[in-house]
A and B are shown apart, each in its own frame.
Chain A
Amino acid sequence: MPKTKKDKQGHRDQADLHRSLLRTALLIRRFEEKTAEMYALAKIAGFCHLYIGEEAVAVGAIGAAREDDYVITTYRDHGHALARGVEPKRIMAELFGKATGVSKGKGGSMHLFDVSRHFMGGHGIVGGHIALATGMGFAIKYEKRDQVVLCFFGEGAVPTGAFHESLNLAALWRLPVVYICENNRFGMGTPVERSSALYDIAHVARAYDMPFHHLDGMDILESYKHMSQIIKGVRSAKRPIFVEAQTYRYMGHSMSDPAHGHYRTKEEIDAQKSRDPIQQLKQHLLEEKQIDEKAIRLMEEEIDGIVQDAVKFADESPDPPLSSLMDDVYVD
């Protein structure tokens, strides 16, 4: 692989980039494992959807994007926020419902926002935010800017009206939006076979004359490589594209759901885990000698520290003041 000088994310070379991707994926993994623990301790409440197993999609796609490209996603949003560089402690504080959370404790797990990082939110209504992404694409075109929008959603959103209306408009108006379908094979408990008439989800883009792409959503490097190309293409061609990332979530739909049970088996999950994106990347980097065991251990320790600090920060942060109840209902 050719060496580069510092790339746009500040990586000196490819090994540096790969270690960085591994680190992001590990951060997401450890952060969410801690999230599950904190949920069990009732520090976190409400709906809480974990991304464990699907990290390759966000890490690759957001890693490939420019910092000023917009990222918008669903309620399964911790991974995207972390990949976007949102501070872990402020995410954890949000999950704890604290005043120091990214959304001041008003959003919770499903509604992380960091507009300064162009992280435009976790959204709770399946399909609804796809229209918002389209609107952001419209604004980019309107103002003749060269950003793109990365819009993440599950395959469960594909049958919604908002999805179809959005894709039609984006294709019609040639808006710079990357529609990234994270096909984790289950819309809550319903497998894609029972919810989509299309066998190949990506083919939905054909209805709107939109280019589409299949992506291995369990392979971080693959994801990064292809998303880099796709984003570059969208930026220059100024037209949307549809990406179907085939991935898998290890956990239940939310913390309230079992990881396995009547809709899938433990064996199925275990089989998927054999392709675990983080293990794969570690293995690959060790084989390529881009990293060694010690560096991995140091990385793990550093990340454990970050996650511990995040929990400590969240725990010690104050609840939002009651006086903030009516804040931000209206813009003054």
Chain B
Amino acid sequence: MPILAYREALNQAMSEEMRKDPSIFLMGEEVGFYDGAFKVSKGMLKEFGPMRVVDTPITEAGFTGVGVGAAMVGLRPIIEMMTFNFAILGLDQIINNATKLHSMSGGQLKVPMVFRGPNGSAKRLASQHSQSLESLYCHIPGLKAIAPSTPKDAKGLLKSAIRDNNPVICFEAQALYGTKGEVPDGEYTIPIGKADIKREGKDVTLIAWSKMLLLCLQTADFLAKEGIDAEVVDPRTLRPLDMETILESVKKTHRVVIVEEAWPYGGVSAQISDRIYYGGLDDLDAPIERVCGEDCPIPYAKNLEEAALPSSEKIIAAVKKVLYLK
């Protein structure tokens, strides 16, 4: 299998779909002439031209709404957010329009579109550029949300998102764009709403997505040296959640640590916890531990930023707690 960078996998997903379906276009800041702020859309302007790879001014509310409006009348926009911090400016369009129109029109309108871009911290960017905002979106019925952690998942899931007839948010991460991995040759998709067990284990279930998934895999190796066999589950889709796979794992390990870069209050990990308590209470031998970002804006200073984010040390401590180890 070819080895691709995460950003290349995303590029392939979009390009392949755009070749097949002329109603798909990519719109956002710097997606065209600049080749993408993070080079995800590299070369796409050249291939598809400026009507399908559309540079916008810095106008998130405007182009997000333009995307929704275009979707209402039959196009399939991909709206690139330079980061999800900026997408907040377009949040009205996503929450009040994209997620409401199908229901509010009694099913007459559809909004088949993708909002995608990097989410979360990316080293020393300080408070306004480091936020993990997935819970904001996952709260909203009408939206689907994916958060792939590997190039293979990124391509397969983004293709599914583009083909989906609902608005789908795709959370990427700056730290992931350069990561490499095997990507199958040829056509494939990964279904939305299907989790993946990234590492099998029997002692504890670690649940994480996007770049926290990589941290968990690394941490699982550390744990293995201490004789703790961690299973790492990647939900991949944050809404709808694949609770079946998660609960199967819980049934096996009886202990859960959920790792989320975002803040703890009302986080996606809280939602997953809730669903585990609901569906797997009798399988739990310990309360679920959540390792989240600390409940503060992400600071700039190196030591403070590191302290604010989940780490292997924090995960290991949480694992030992659910295993009742000192």
Q: Do chains A and B touch in the complex (CB under 8 A)?
A: yes
| Chain A residues with a Cβ under 8 A of chain B | 70, 101-107, 111, 113-116, 120-121, 123-125, 128-140, 142-143, 161-162, 165-166, 168-169, 172, 327-332
Alpha-carbon gap, A111 to B66, bound state (A): 19
Q: Is the CB of B105 within 8 A of A103?
A: yes
B141 at the interface (CB under 8 A from A): yes
Q: Is the CB of A327 within 8 A of B65?
A: no
Given A128-B93, A135-B71, A329-B141 in contact, is the A169-B106 Cβ separation under 8 Å? no
Q: Is the CB of B65 within 8 A of A162?
A: yes
Q: List 26 A-B contacts (CB under 8 A).
A: A70-B73, A102-B106, A103-B106, A104-B107, A107-B104, A107-B105, A107-B106, A113-B104, A121-B101, A121-B109, A128-B97, A129-B97, A131-B65, A131-B68, A132-B72, A132-B97, A135-B70, A138-B75, A162-B65, A166-B62, A166-B66, A330-B102, A330-B142, A331-B102, A331-B112, A331-B165
In the complex formed, the residue of B with least CB distance to A105 is B106
Alpha-carbon gap, A123 to B93, bound state (A): 12
Given A107-B105, A168-B57 in contact, is the A139-B74 Cβ separation under 8 Å? yes
Of the residues A124, A129, A165, contact of B59 by C-beta under 8 Å: A165
Q: Which residues of A contact B16 (CB under 8 A)?
A: none
Q: Which residues of B contact A136 (CB under 8 A)?
A: 69-70, 72-73
In the complex formed, the residue of A with least CB distance to B51 is A142
Report the interface size class on chain B: 35 or more
Distance from B323 Cβ to chain A, minimum over Cβ atoms (Å): 39
Alpha-carbon gap, A137 to B51, bound state (A): 13
Of the residues A142, A165, A329, contact of B25 by C-beta under 8 Å: A142
Of the residues B59, B69, B96, B112, contact of A138 by C-beta under 8 Å: B69
Q: Which residues of B contact A142 (CB under 8 A)?
A: 25, 51, 70, 75
Q: Which residues of B contact A101 (CB under 8 A)?
A: 106
Q: Which residues of B contact A106 (CB under 8 A)?
A: 103-106
Interchain residue pairs A-B with the least CB separation, the first 6:
A135-B69, A131-B65, A165-B62, A104-B106, A132-B69, A113-B105
B273 at the interface (CB under 8 A from A): no
Alpha-carbon gap, A136 to B64, bound state (A): 12
Q: Which residues of B contact A120 (CB under 8 A)?
A: 72-73, 109
B67 at the interface (CB under 8 A from A): yes
Q: Is the CB of A162 within 8 A of B110?
A: no
Distance from B26 Cβ to chain A, minimum over Cβ atoms (Å): 12
Given A129-B97, A131-B93, A132-B97 in contact, is the A331-B66 Cβ separation under 8 Å? no
Given contacts A135-B69, A168-B57, 5 further A-B contacts (CB under 8 A): A106-B103, A113-B105, A113-B106, A128-B96, A142-B25
Q: Which residues of B contact A116 (CB under 8 A)?
A: 108
Q: Is the CB of A328 within 8 A of B93?
A: no
Q: Which residues of B contact A111 (CB under 8 A)?
A: 104-105
Q: Is the CB of B67 within 8 A of A135?
A: yes
Alpha-carbon gap, A103 to B104, bound state (A): 6
Q: Which residues of A contact B127 (CB under 8 A)?
A: none
Given A104-B107, A111-B105 in contact, is the A124-B96 Cβ separation under 8 Å? yes
B166 at the interface (CB under 8 A from A): yes
Q: Is the CB of B97 within 8 A of A134?
A: no
In the complex formed, the residue of B with least CB distance to A134 is B66
Q: Is the CB of B61 within 8 A of A328?
A: no
B171 at the interface (CB under 8 A from A): no
Q: Is the CB of A165 within 8 A of B61?
A: yes
Distance from A44 Cβ to chain B, minimum over Cβ atoms (Å): 17
Q: Is the CB of B108 within 8 A of A113?
A: yes
B158-193 Cβ-contact flags toward A at 8 Å (1 or 0): 000000111000000000000000000000000000
Of the residues B65, B165, B166, contact of A135 by C-beta under 8 Å: B65
B134-171 Cβ-contact flags toward A at 8 Å (1 or 0): 00000001101000000000000000000011100000
Distance from A178 Cβ to chain B, minimum over Cβ atoms (Å): 14
Q: Which residues of A contact B110 (CB under 8 A)?
A: 331
Given A104-B107, A330-B166 in contact, is the A162-B75 Cβ separation under 8 Å? no
Q: Is the CB of B61 within 8 A of A103?
A: no
Q: Is the CB of A329 within 8 A of B103?
A: yes
Q: Which residues of B contact A135 (CB under 8 A)?
A: 65-73
Of the residues B56, B64, B106, contact of A328 by C-beta under 8 Å: B106
In the complex formed, the residue of A with least CB distance to B93 is A131
Given A115-B105, A142-B75, A331-B102 in contact, is the A169-B69 Cβ separation under 8 Å? no
In the complex formed, the residue of A with least CB distance to B64 is A131
